[in-house]
Amino acid sequence: MEKLDDGGAAFPTNGWQPIDGTISDDGEHRLVSFNGLSIRDYFAAKAMAAWLGTFGASAHHPCDTAHNGTGKDYGPAIAELSYKLADAMLSTRSKDPRP
């Protein structure tokens, strides 16, 4: 299976962690990397939040099956479309239009 290009880490950072995983004062620490979420995840979250933010205060949330008028849960479709937009953003980003 081909590895999906997720754009790498969105907010990579390094930090010191005790070697045994506990908090201690003995000075025995190691430098570890924390990758956090991927750029793909970050783009998808931003796209989803922006889209859901377009609903007015009196509008029913599309995942609210009791009140959205259809009885359907649109959550999976919203997530899928958010990742499709994120993939399009990554694709465009990789083309680097700068001269």
pLDDT of residue 43: 94
pTM over 0.75: no
Q: Going residue by residue through the chain, which has 99 residues, state the pLDDT in tens, using 9 for 90 and above.
A: 667 778 888 887 776 665 555 555 555 666 666 777 889 999 999 999 998 888 777 777 777 777 767 777 778 888 999 999 999 999 988 887 665
DSSP letter string, 38-97: BHHHHHHHHHHHHHHTTS-TTSPPTT-TTTSSS----HHHHHHHHHHHHHHHHHHHHH--
